[in-house]
């Protein structure tokens, strides 16, 4: 190589190397002030360094996080943990289970999955959570996993880059944590939503004609759902799929929306009374929860009171739903 | 050498005051001589010298010198 | 891999490092290898199609050389160009002809033939088809000799930095460079890296974020200030397209420089063009000069005795082809027609306008600012047809855009207008970010086109220049999203 060219490459190397100290300074000073994701960290910690060693685990999106209280389910089996994460649909759960959970955690005896009818389309990617991965897993995914985009892993590894849009807010000492949850009540992956006094101008999910809110399942989302069901069948783990209750202003309005019906059909087809169970709390098992405004944070999320009542109901239903062959799941 | 007559024709059709044309001057170097004006220049040349250029001859021109050559050839062949 | 990704940058870095370590005589072969490696990373079918085109072009060119008469040559070139154009047209209009193909096979009883409803356009197909046509026609026009070295010609057609989004370099320009590969000058190398960085900034910070804002704006088009949302969408569409396309070009030119290849300019501050025909001399310059050499000029030459009618016909054909290059949907046809009409009117009245403004000195001073402004708005309206998802969507945006423009010009209530823009649904911080990144982009554009400014920058102390680069990198990391969005003109 020509000497002039060599010099340029040396300069380029110096230029790129200088990014490292700048990066470290940024990480040292900025990461602490924008590190917000308390429930995520503790949940991933539980996977990588098991404390609870749960036998009954809960997967799903944020409504599961705020709705299923492990404390109440402990009456069935004291080893319960709620692994629900914001925006975690079937696509995410498959990634999460095969790439992480299976390799680090004990095989659960029962999985409860809340299927979010709206978020079934959301392709949250496991790469978004690279911040919580141990370095070995991070490198393994970065170098050898072609399903997870390179950039997702890199951009989410350090809080000050992951939450870069929050830095300014944090520096202006504005709050950056999600204040709708009561974090002081956090328990085994569950955090209740605050009680709102009034729901305000809420529309029911079926009567909502706003075009931007139109719910539609993409073919990929339906395929992901089927893939998830198949995954746990192959793993031979009993799974209870849940459609969590929604708030309806009128009794007459709870006709299933076509998109919800589509998901219901898929799940109902798969129910085998052995490993696949399905509980729909809107259409098959409605209750006064669906109509009483005082139980709700918003139209799709129960508040603390509502979630406790719901989990009680779920506990009873689970006990009667699971066939005798599986009864060893529950510790009397 | 570019003849004065050709030079004047080109300058007129491009509304230019003056330009120092050499044999190897390219059309793109001359201000205003763009693709929109190119055919106008050719039309002006055809009119001035009372000749007809074939499309392929025009497309094959590389520079002003070649335009001069082709005009000279056509004028020679023309019965006086 | 998209060319604004970390992977692509690492690929280029390793590829060029090896390239500079190689002896000069091996470099052309190595470059070809790298180009094909790049294509294979997308799809093996793309590489296969390109190699077939290369072989076809190589032997056709040699055949032109050995043909007996000029007439035979003409026939041969027409045939070869026809085949290449048909290939391109097939892929471009596939969605259009797929239905009829299926019906036809059904009719004649060939039911087992199935035609997929969607095929992916081979990466950069139109760019290398245009290059191939340029090569063959220029041989016929005696402008260049056929290349006897297959490696050199294959490099011309497949040169990977130009394969994704152009620019369309002339064979006359590229082949001498590849034949005389020498040590790359350090300045060229550095300028290459600089352009890549700037391209990444334009793509990731300006274009992609505008794309997201447009998405947000569409949600608000139903609201009370919907018209103003559309108004912003029209502008954002245009600026996004420019940032996206010129970013791809910058990266492409930059990467080519790392291999010591100089590419032609593709954008020259088009939004400052004083009239619409000048705009097209500054926007996607290599495509327009290609079209004007092989479509517009020959056509107008043929029609030159028809006067203005011939000129307008040639302009319209030219612009319709640019529209059709985007696809065979009706909206692109509209785009071509509108642009064609605008250029015709502008060209025919230019002389009159010049005379008029020369007589009115005060107006002439204003013309310098008003001209580009009017031109820009012509571009904004017509680019909506390119960017919108369908013809009705485009018409809806344009209708609202014009309503807003009218209210702005007639009511002259600037304060209220701006207040409405702020209420349209975008965060103020986002608007501020867009504004800052646009100012930054245009500052660099200015510095690129102003030689004195450029010299000043290059003679600044090293730490200042590096600080500017770090600043851009921080901008990219902190203002870009981590989703790899493909370039608009990726599959053209």
Domain ranges, ordered by start, for chain B: 4-77
- Are C475 and C328 contained in the same domain? yes
B41 within 8 A of B33, measured Cβ to Cβ: yes
The secondary structure of B28-66 as a DSSP string is: GGSTT-SHHHHHHHHHHHHHHHT----HHHHHH--SHHH
Looking at the domain assignment, is residue C484 inside a domain? no
Q: What is the pLDDT of residue A251?
A: 57
Q: What is the CATH number of domain A37-322?
A: 3.40.50.1110
Q: What is the pLDDT of residue A205?
A: 42
Considering chain C, what is the average pLDDT of its residues?
A: 88
- Are C158 and C280 contained in the same domain? no
Question: B4-77: which CATH architecture?
Answer: Orthogonal Bundle (1.10)
- CA of C321 vs chain B CAs: smallest distance (Å): 17
Closest CA to C236 of C430, C90, C458, C449: C430
Least confident of A60-64, B21-25, C160-164, C272-276: A60-64
| A with C: touching (≥3 Cβ pairs within 8 Å) | yes
Residue numbers of the domain that contains C204 = 188-479
Phi/psi of residue A98, each to 5°?
Answer: -75, -35
Mean pLDDT of the C9-18 span: 94
C300 within 8 A of B39, measured Cβ to Cβ: yes
Taking only the tens place, the pLDDT of each residue in C397-429 is 999 999 888 888 887 777 888 888 877 777 888
Three-state secondary structure call for residue B19? coil
Q: What is the ipTM of this complex?
A: 0.90
Closest CA to C175 of C61, C46, C53: C61
Mean pLDDT of the C449-461 span: 89
The closest CB to that of C184, out of A5, A12, A149, belongs to A5
Task: Give the residue from C182, C200, C218 where a domain finishes.
Answer: C182
B20 within 8 A of B30, measured Cβ to Cβ: no
How far is it, in rounded angstroms, from Cα A82 to Cα A80?
7
The secondary structure of A158-195 as a DSSP string is: SHHHHTGGGHHHHHTT---S-TTB-GGG-BTTB-PBPP
How far is it, in rounded angstroms, from Cα C379 to Cα C258?
34
Low-confidence ranges of chain A (pLDDT < 50): 201-213
How far is it, in rounded angstroms, from Cα A272 to Cα A275?
6
- CA of C456 vs chain B CAs: smallest distance (Å): 27
- Are C88 and C210 contained in the same domain? no
The closest CB to that of A212, out of C21, C185, C219, belongs to C219
C295 within 8 A of C321, measured Cβ to Cβ: yes
The more confident residue out of A297 and C26 is: C26
- Are C286 and C414 contained in the same domain? yes
C334 within 8 A of C347, measured Cβ to Cβ: no
Chain C residues within 8 angstroms (CB to CB) of chain B? 74, 141-143, 277, 281, 289, 292-293, 296-298, 300-302, 304, 311, 347
Q: What is the pLDDT of residue C327?
A: 79
The closest CB to that of C186, out of A5, A18, A152, belongs to A5
Looking at the domain assignment, is residue C487 inside a domain? no
A touches which chains (3+ CB pairs under 8 A)? C
Q: How confident is the model at residue C162 (pLDDT cuts 50, 70, 90)?
A: very high
- Are C164 and C213 contained in the same domain? no
Number of domains in chain C: 2
Q: What is the pLDDT of residue A201?
A: 47
| B with A: touching (≥3 Cβ pairs within 8 Å) | no
Q: Which residues of C touch B38 (CB under 8 A)?
A: 297
Mean pLDDT of the C196-204 span: 93
- Are C225 and C282 contained in the same domain? yes
Q: Is B17 on the interface with C (CB under 8 A)?
A: no
- Are C92 and C197 contained in the same domain? no
Task: Give the residue from C182, C197, C225 where a domain finishes.
Answer: C182
- CA of C273 vs chain A CAs: smallest distance (Å): 36
Task: Give the residue from C182, C216, C244 where a domain finishes.
Answer: C182
């Amino acid at each position: 190589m020509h000497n002039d060219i060599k010099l340029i490459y040396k300069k380029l190397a110096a230029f790129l190397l200088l990014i490292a100290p700048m990066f470290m300074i940024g990480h040292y000073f900025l990461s602490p002030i924008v590190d917000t994701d308390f429930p995520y960290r503790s949940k991933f910690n539980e996977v990588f360094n098991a404390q609870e060693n749960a036998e009954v685990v809960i997967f799903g999106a944020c409504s599961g996080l705020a709705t299923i209280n492990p404390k109440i389910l402990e009456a069935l089996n004291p080893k319960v943990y709620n692994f629900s994460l914001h925006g975690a649909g079937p696509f995410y759960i498959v990634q999460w289970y095969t790439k992480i959970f299976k390799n680090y955690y004990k095989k659960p005896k029962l999985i409860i999955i809340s299927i979010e009818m709206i978020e079934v389309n959301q392709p949250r990617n496991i790469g978004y959570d690279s911040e919580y991965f141990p370095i070995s897993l991070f490198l393994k995914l970065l170098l050898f996993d072609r399903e997870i985009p390179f950039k997702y892993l890199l951009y989410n590894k350090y809080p000050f880059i992951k939450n870069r849009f929050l830095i300014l807010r944090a520096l202006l000492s504005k709050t950056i944590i999600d204040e709708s949850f009561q974090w002081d009540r956090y328990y085994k992956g569950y955090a209740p939503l605050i009680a709102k006094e009034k729901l305000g101008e809420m529309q029911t999910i079926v009567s909502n004609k706003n075009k931007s809110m139109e719910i539609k399942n993409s073919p990929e989302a339906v395929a992901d759902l089927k893939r998830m069901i198949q995954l746990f069948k192959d793993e031979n783990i009993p799974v209870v799929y849940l459609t969590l209750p929604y708030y309806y202003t009128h009794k007459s309005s709870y006709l299933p929306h076509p998109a919800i019906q589509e998901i219901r059909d898929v799940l109902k087809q798969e129910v085998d009374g052995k490993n696949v169970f399905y509980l729909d709390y809107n259409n098959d098992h409605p209750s006064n929860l669906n109509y009483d405004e005082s139980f709700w944070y918003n139209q799709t999320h129960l508040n603390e009171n509502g979630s406790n009542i719901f989990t009680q109901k779920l506990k009873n239903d689970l006990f009667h739903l699971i066939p005798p062959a599986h009864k060893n799941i529950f510790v009397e | 050498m570019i003849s004065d007559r050709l030079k004047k024709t080109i300058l007129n059709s491009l509304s230019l005051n003056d330009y120092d044309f050499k044999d190897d001057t390219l059309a793109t170097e001359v201000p205003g001589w763009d693709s929109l004006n190119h055919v106008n220049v050719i039309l002006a040349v055809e009119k001035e010298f009372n000749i007809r250029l074939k499309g392929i001859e025009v497309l094959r021109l590389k520079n002003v010198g070649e335009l001069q050559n082709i005009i000279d050839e056509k004028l020679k062949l023309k019965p006086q | 891999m998209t060319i604004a990704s970390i992977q692509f940058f690492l690929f280029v870095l390793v590829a060029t490092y090896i390239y500079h370590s190689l002896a000069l005589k091996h470099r052309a072969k190595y470059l070809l290898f790298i180009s094909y490696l790049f294509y294979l990373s997308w799809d093996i079918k793309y590489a296969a199609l390109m190699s077939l085109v290369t072989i076809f072009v190589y032997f056709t060119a040699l055949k032109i050389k050995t043909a007996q008469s000029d007439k035979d040559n003409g026939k041969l070139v027409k045939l070869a160009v026809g085949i290449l154009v048909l290939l391109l047209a097939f892929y471009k209009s596939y969605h259009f002809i797929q239905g009829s193909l299926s019906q036809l096979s059904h009719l004649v009883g060939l039911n087992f033939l199935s035609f997929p409803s969607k095929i992916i356009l081979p990466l950069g197909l139109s760019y290398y088809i245009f290059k191939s046509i340029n090569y063959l026609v220029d041989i016929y026009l005696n402008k260049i000799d056929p290349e006897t070295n297959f490696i050199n010609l294959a490099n011309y057609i497949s040169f990977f930095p130009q394969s994704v989004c152009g620019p369309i370099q002339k064979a006359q320009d590229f082949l001498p460079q590849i034949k005389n590969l020498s040590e790359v000058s350090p300045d060229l190398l550095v300028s290459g890296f600089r352009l890549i960085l700037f391209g990444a900034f334009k793509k990731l910070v300006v274009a992609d974020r505008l794309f997201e804002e447009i998405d947000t704006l569409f949600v608000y088009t139903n609201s009370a200030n919907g018209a103003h949302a559309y108004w912003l969408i029209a502008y954002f569409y245009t600026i996004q397209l420019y940032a996206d396309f010129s970013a791809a070009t910058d990266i492409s030119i930059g990467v080519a420089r790392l291999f010591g290849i100089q590419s032609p300019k593709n954008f020259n501050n088009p939004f400052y063009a004083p009239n619409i025909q000048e705009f097209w001399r500054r926007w996607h310059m290599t495509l327009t000069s290609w079209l004007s050499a092989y479509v517009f000029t020959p056509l107008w030459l043929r029609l030159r005795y028809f006067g203005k009618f011939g000129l307008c016909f040639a302009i319209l054909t030219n612009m319709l082809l640019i529209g059709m290059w985007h696809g065979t949907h009706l909206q692109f046809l509209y785009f071509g027609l509108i642009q064609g009409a605008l250029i015709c009117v502008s060209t025919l009245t230019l002389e009159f306008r010049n005379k008029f403004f020369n007589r009115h000195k005060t107006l002439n001073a204003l013309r310098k600012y008003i001209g580009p402004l009017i031109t820009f708005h012509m571009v904004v309206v017509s680019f909506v047809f390119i960017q919108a998802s369908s013809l009705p969507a485009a018409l809806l945006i344009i209708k609202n855009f014009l309503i807003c423009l009218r209210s702005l010009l007639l009511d002259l209530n600037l304060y209220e207008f701006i207040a409405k823009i702020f209420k349209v649904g975008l965060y103020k911080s986002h608007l501020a970010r867009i504004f800052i990144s646009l100012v930054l982009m245009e500052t660099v554009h200015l510095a690129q086109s102003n030689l004195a400014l450029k010299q000043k920058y290059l003679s600044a102390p090293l730490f200042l220049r590096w600080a500017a680069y770090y600043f851009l990198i921080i901008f990219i990391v902190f203002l870009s999203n981590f989703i790899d969005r493909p370039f608009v003109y990726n599959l053209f």
